[in-house]
Amino acid sequence: MEPGGRCWCLVAGLWGLWASVAGGPGLYQGGVDPVWVLEGATVREALRDAAWAWVVQFYSSSCGHCVAFAPAWKALAADVHEWESAIRIGVLDCGDEANYETCKEYGIQYYPTFRYFRAFTKEFTTGESQLGSDRELPTVRQSMIDFLQNHSQEAKPPACPSLEPIVPQEMFTLFDKKIQHYTAIIFESENSYAGREVMLDLIAYDNVSVKRVLDSDPVFLEKLGISSLPSLYLICPNGTHGLRNVLKPLRSFFSSYLKSLPDVRRRSPPRLPTLAGRDGEGDGAGVKDWKDFDPSKVYMADLESGLHYLLRVELATHKTLEGSELRTFKSLIALLAKLFPGPDPTVKLLETLHVWLVSLPLDRIPYNAVLDLLDNKMRMAGLFLPSRVRWIGCQGSRAELRGYPCSFWTLFHVLTVQAATRPNALLNTGLEGDPRAVLEVMRKYVRDFFGCRACAQHFEEMAKGSLGSVQTPEEAALWLWEKHNEVNARLAGDLTEDPKFPKAPWPSLEACPSCRRGGSVSRKGQLPVWDETEVLRFLRRHYGSGNVEYRYAESRPDAEKAGSPEEGREEERKARGSFLGFSSLDMSLCIALYGTSSLFLILLFVFFRMRSRRRKARPGRPHV
């Protein structure tokens, strides 16, 4: 696919054009949207010892599913804005580079992730998950109420009213009291949430209180004339009382009616939530420092930025790798080490990482060991991967569009083409001889590590249905192209589409006139009739190493600087046999030494940890 023009995602979110990983505001803006926009530097302070509970969405601005879900989450926050003195809705952008480490501390691996935090919590906690509360908004509201009711009496937010029902006898005592405010009583069934929702809707209002009574006593209901549930019964300050008819027996109608009563006033005017560093951030439209690019090129800056995010952020959310996850990671690194068409520092880094993983006879490794190798040991030897994001062909017209997923799919298109044009590149990796090797590694990576779970499930369903028909590396490249185009046609006009880069059949007529047997079609129409021979020729040319543009990249190959052909870069690297003064033997010895030392440290860690556990398990001596 064309990295500068068409980036398809896995679902309405993953297959759309995604957000930038760094720079610019996220999907939510403090002072503009009705959510509390949290930041990595201050989130602990905001959640610790708060006089209210929290429900926080940990999202990624590079997650298309999060982009699609954002309007619903904002609507929920606006709907329960009156509840904020009891429970608040917050968001934290894990796609913001400033928040990477914080999201790791909270154990966030997939997006969106929803966590609940209790009021008056003094120690650090990663929060609680509520089953079923991450999609349907009525379910989220109900989960928020359940969470509030699960607080102990001592830890309950002071502003939160008692949400438990009163018995009918208590209601009779209210008739005889001279109360200077309205008392509203919601009659409802046991499984109804309407009464508790109305209670929370009115906590910021004076001169009215709300209680609830269950339908456990039919005789009592009949005596009051209540024939349907839920119903509203009102006791007025002058002592009169009776059943009130509202337009519809729904929470919103009950709340609106009570707020409209004479002398019922909100204690303070409503305000949009803001936190330090987010006020007045602007409308978020557009991106800073736009860079002109050629959409017919693949940009190394995009590929290396994608590798940086993949290795240092997405994988780093997993503290340890073992079992199928470790096997997937090893396969991915083997694939990259053999097929990535990058400059020497990046390629040698991938090769070194591959040799190190092969040299470790372990079925479980801490990912911090991988990061230490990437960020410390290799840099000392002159091997490095750029440590910042710079999107070029994957820029979006707005900050929340495109970015990492664009580079992710561009990377795998490049790898399928490399596998098709270099049939012996994967020898001795365990992946040789499999025409679907690149696609299977992509499938497993998306399954095990990709942040959007809904996207991963969608991709798995798609792969399960058709991936088995791929019989050659050339068919693998065509499979990825074909599936992107199918989903692109289905999602044209979706919320995640970048208006500057509309999803149309690709390659376009301008990019490859010979690829189509038929003319252009409407965006919602049938796909063109493709000449797959010409399409494959186009894919080889577009994603071939000769079409990789190094402008804007942090590092460039020596061959490019000298003006030699791109196709000869790999052979030239091998012919030199050394890099920055290190011979192949030097590098092999360094890798072996580091692998041995890493193995020793890991075994030492396991030994002392097991010994510590055994000591804790021993019964203590009785005191004499």
CA atoms within 13 A on the CB side of 567: 5
In terms of domains, do 589 and 553 share one? no
In terms of domains, do 364 and 242 share one? no
pLDDT in tens, 576-585: 333 344 444 3
pLDDT in tens, 117-137: 999 999 999 999 876 545 678
> What is the token pair recorded at 150?
């699960």
Residue 296 has pLDDT above 90, yes or no: yes
In terms of domains, do 351 and 213 share one? no
In terms of domains, do 126 and 202 share one? no
Task: Answer with the one of 149, 180, 213 that is the final residue of a domain.
Answer: 149
Decide which of 261 and 100 is more confident.
Answer: 261
Decide which of 613 and 262 is more confident.
Answer: 262
Instruction: Confirm whether 597 is domain-assigned.
Output: yes
In terms of domains, do 223 and 257 share one? yes
Residue 8 has pLDDT above 50, yes or no: no
506-513 long-range contacts (CB < 8 A, ≥24 apart) are 506/1, 506/2, 506/5, 506/6, 507/2, 507/535, 507/538, 507/542, 508/5, 511/2, 511/296, 511/538, 512/538
Q: What is the C-alpha to C-alpha distance for residues 512 and 519, in angstroms, rounded to an integer?
A: 12
What is the domain count for the chain? 4
Instruction: Confirm whether 571 is domain-assigned.
Output: no
Instruction: Confirm whether 565 is domain-assigned.
Output: no
Sign of the Cα pseudo-torsion (219, 220, 222, 223, in order): positive
pLDDT band of 20, cuts 50, 70, 90: very low
In terms of domains, do 123 and 192 share one? no
In the predicted model, what is the mean pLDDT of residues 429-448? 94
Residue 290 has pLDDT above 80, yes or no: yes
Instruction: Confirm whether 207 is domain-assigned.
Output: yes
In terms of domains, do 183 and 321 share one? no
Q: Which residues are catalytic?
A: 63, 66
In terms of domains, do 548 and 440 share one? yes
610-616 long-range contacts (CB < 8 A, ≥24 apart) are none
In the block, tokens 């095990």 appear at 448
Task: Answer with the one of 266, 287, 312 that is the final residue of a domain.
Answer: 266
- Identify whether the C-beta of residue 544 lies closer than 8 Å to the C-beta of residue 329: no
In the predicted model, what is the mean pLDDT of residues 126-154? 85
Instruction: Render 239-295 in DSSP notation, one character per residue.
Output: S-EEEE--SSSSHHHHHHHHHTSTT-EESS-------TTTTT-----S-SS-----T
In terms of domains, do 516 and 594 share one? no
Least confident of 97-106, 383-392, 466-475: 383-392
Q: What is the C-alpha to C-alpha distance for residues 159 and 157, in angstroms, rounded to an integer?
A: 6
The pLDDT score that the predictor gives to residue 49 is 94
Pairing between β-strand 298-299 and β-strand 320-322 as defined by DSSP bridges? unpaired
Contacts of 143 (CB under 8 A, 6+ apart): 55, 116, 130, 132, 133
pLDDT in tens, 395-428: 888 776 788 888 998 999 999 999 999 989 999 9
The pLDDT score that the predictor gives to residue 410 is 93
Instruction: Confirm whether 25 is domain-assigned.
Output: no
- Identify whether the C-beta of residue 316 lies closer than 8 Å to the C-beta of residue 371: yes
- Identify whether the C-beta of residue 103 lies closer than 8 Å to the C-beta of residue 40: yes
- For the chain, what percentages of helix, strand and coil (3-state, to nearest 5) are there? 45, 10, 45
- What are the residue ranges of helices labelled H in 80-234? 100-105, 137-149, 168-176, 194-201, 218-224
- Which residue range is the domain that position 121 belongs to? 36-149
In the block, tokens 């409209």 appear at 260
pLDDT in tens, 242-263: 999 888 999 999 999 999 999 9
Q: What is the C-alpha to C-alpha distance for residues 540 and 546, in angstroms, rounded to an integer?
A: 10
Instruction: Confirm whether 1 is domain-assigned.
Output: no
- Identify whether the C-beta of residue 97 lies closer than 8 Å to the C-beta of residue 404: no
Least confident of 58-62, 219-223, 301-305, 552-556: 552-556
Backbone angles phi, psi at 234, to 5 degrees: -120, 130
In terms of domains, do 144 and 216 share one? no
The pLDDT score that the predictor gives to residue 282 is 36
CA atoms within 13 A on the CB side of 479: 27
Residue 191 has pLDDT above 50, yes or no: yes
CA-based nearest residue to 515, from 131, 78, 2, 25: 2
In terms of domains, do 40 and 124 share one? yes
Helix (H) or strand (E) holding 601: helix 584-617
Question: Largest Cα–Cα distance in the chain?
Answer: 98
> What is the token pair recorded at 79?
């709907």
Q: What's the length of the chain?
A: 624
Q: What is the C-alpha to C-alpha distance for residues 373 and 597, in angstroms, rounded to an integer?
A: 12
Q: What is the C-alpha to C-alpha distance for residues 145 and 47, in angstroms, rounded to an integer?
A: 18
Least confident of 51-65, 119-133, 374-388, 531-545: 374-388
In the block, tokens 């919601």 appear at 186
Cα-only R_g, the chain: 30
User: Is the full-model pTM beyond 0.75?
Assistant: no
- Say which CATH number the domain at 259 has: 3.40.30.10
Instruction: Confirm whether 273 is domain-assigned.
Output: no
C-alpha distance from residue 397 to each of 205, 285, 400, 508 (Å)? 43, 8, 9, 20
Tell me the pLDDT of the chain averaged across its residues.
Answer: 82
In the predicted model, what is the mean pLDDT of residues 67-90? 93
**One-letter amino acid identity for 569?**
R
Annotate 552-563 with b (16+ C-beta within 10 A) or e (fewer). Answer: bbbbebebbeee
In terms of domains, do 174 and 215 share one? yes
* Residue 7 DSSP class: -
Residue 1 has pLDDT above 50, yes or no: no
Q: What is the C-alpha to C-alpha distance for residues 130 and 110, in angstroms, rounded to an integer?
A: 15
SS3 of 211-242: the string is: EEEECCCHHHHHHHCCCCCCEEEEECCCCCEE
Residue 565 has pLDDT above 60, yes or no: no
Instruction: Render 10-74 in DSSP notation, one character per residue.
Output: SSTTTBS----SSSS--S--BTTBSSEE--TTTHHHHHTT-SSEEEEEEE-TT-HHHHHHHHHHH
SS3 of 410-447: the string is: HHHHHHHHHHHHCCCCCCCCCCCCCCCHHHHHHHHHHH
> Which residues make beta-bridge pairs with 187?
213, 231
Helix (H, G, I), strand (E, B) or coil at 196: helix
- Identify whether the C-beta of residue 25 lies closer than 8 Å to the C-beta of residue 284: yes
Instruction: Confirm whether 281 is domain-assigned.
Output: no
Contacts of 542 (CB under 8 A, 6+ apart): 2, 296, 298, 507
Q: What is the C-alpha to C-alpha distance for residues 206 and 202, in angstroms, rounded to an integer?
A: 8
SS3 of 366-394: the string is: EHHHHHHHHHHHHHHCCCCCCCCCCCCCC
Helix (H, G, I), strand (E, B) or coil at 298: strand
Residue 316 has pLDDT above 50, yes or no: yes
- Identify whether the C-beta of residue 415 lies closer than 8 Å to the C-beta of residue 335: yes
C-alpha distance from residue 542 to each of 18, 410, 425, 606, 618 (Å)? 22, 11, 20, 48, 65
pLDDT in tens, 332-354: 999 999 999 988 889 999 999 99
- Say which CATH number the domain at 363 has: 1.20.120.310
* Chain centre to alpha carbon of residue 84: 25
Helix (H, G, I), strand (E, B) or coil at 619: coil
Task: Answer with the one of 544, 559, 574 that is the final residue of a domain.
Answer: 559
